[in-house]
Chains A and B, each alone.
Chain A
Amino acid sequence: MHELSIAQEIIDVAVQTIPSENYHLVKAIRISIGEFCNIIPDSLLFCYNSLIDSSPILNCRLEIESIPLTVYCSSCNVNIEIKQPNFFCNKCGGTDIKIVSGQELSIKEIELEDDLREAT
């Protein structure tokens, strides 16, 4: 259940990033999760939804982008997508590969609604 501490960290980062007078405008947090970082998106969402109600940005939803596991094969000199847990190049079968993507766990952006009070 490390998703719980990760959900809390995501909310904390958003709360620190947004000026408190704009908390009511926060609509969505967009994050990227690599397929190879042991995070279950549904579990993270469940934890996030449990925590967000008691945060100052309670109307904010979490949007998760999944990043496939991609490796660089030094023999073929290309990046290829692989399926866990087979860590070899699916072109040449070589094991001299380096993970290029799939280990991400990052907050990309935060979406705010326009402040209607300002517009009027």
Chain B
Amino acid sequence: MSIIKVERKVLEKNDAIALCNRDIFSRKKIFVINMLSSPGSGKTSLIEKSVEAFGGKLKCGVIEGDVQTDLDAQRLDALKIPVVQIITNGGCHLEANLVGEAFSKFQNPAFDLLIIENVGNLVCPAGFDLGEHLKAVLISVTEGDDKPLKYPVAFRNSSVLIINKIDLLPYVNSSVERLKKNALLVNPLLKIFETSCVTGEGIDDWSGWLKAQINKNENSSFY
């Protein structure tokens, strides 16, 4: 019997491509966020509202990840921003190579902000680095306030939490306070926003903060 020592990360290929993506994004001074959530939490709606809130002051691009259809890309086309759709054909998450290929399809990616909308899934996307600068997890109040405890990796690995659909709070049993408490138990450093894409509540706070991150990073050694 003989043993061959390997000592290799299973995802090292993905991690190497992610590093390469991050390097490209940083050299081009594009701030990149990777948005994770369950299906239907409102990622696309939040992107629409954020882009509207930027009011044309930021150049944005979006990479859309979906298991099937380009329905989300069609929605975002209406905002007149460049969108590249990735259809994973059953794949439950985006990987760094898919993002790298999608990015190369933009005609002129002179963006201030690139938003990667991951496949709707709170499990698998949390484990794959895509080369983003910021991971944001989104949850809607209709999903229940226990979700951070049930899907801790997504909440621990993200630096921002957006609690969406707060206009529906009167109709559901979720409590924002319990949701926050549970999320902070998993990750005490989470920056938390509460939004409604229907009433517009909280959108300015979130988009203002995001804009400030981009400006802050432009002036730092971050890139």
Contact = CB atoms under 8 A, between A and B. Distances in A.
Interface of A: 1-2, 5-6, 9-10, 13-14, 17-18, 27, 31, 36-39, 84-88, 95-96, 99, 105-114
Of B5, B6, B9, B150, most A-chain CB atoms within 10 Å: B6
B6 A108 contact: yes
B156 A106 contact: no
Nearest to A37: B127
Contact of B185 (A5, A9, A86): A86
A12 to B, nearest CB: 9
B6 A9 contact: no
A87 B186 contact: yes
Interface of B: 1-11, 13, 91-93, 95, 123-124, 126-128, 148-150, 152-153, 156, 185-188
A37 B153 contact: yes
Contact of A110 (B3, B95, B156, B188): B3
Contacts of A36: 152-153, 156
Contacts of B11: 6, 9, 105
Question: A-B pairs with the 6 shortest C-beta distances?
Answer: A85-B152, A2-B124, A95-B188, A85-B149, A107-B6, A110-B4
A64 B10 CA distance: 13
A109 B156 contact: no
A85 B9 contact: no
B123 to A, nearest CB: 5
Given A5-B95, A10-B10, A107-B9, 15 more contacts: A1-B124, A2-B123, A2-B124, A9-B11, A27-B1, A31-B10, A85-B149, A87-B152, A87-B185, A96-B188, A106-B10, A108-B6, A108-B7, A109-B6, A112-B1
Nearest to B155: A85
A9 B13 contact: yes
A116 B126 CA distance: 45
A106 B12 CA distance: 9
B186 A85 contact: yes
Nearest to A84: B152
8 contacts: A2-B128, A9-B10, A38-B127, A85-B185, A96-B188, A109-B4, A109-B7, A110-B4
A27 B4 CA distance: 11
A17 B6 contact: yes
Contacts of A2: 92-93, 123-124, 127-128
B99 to A, nearest CB: 15
Contact of B4 (A18, A38, A87, A88): A18
B185 A88 contact: yes
B10 A1 contact: no
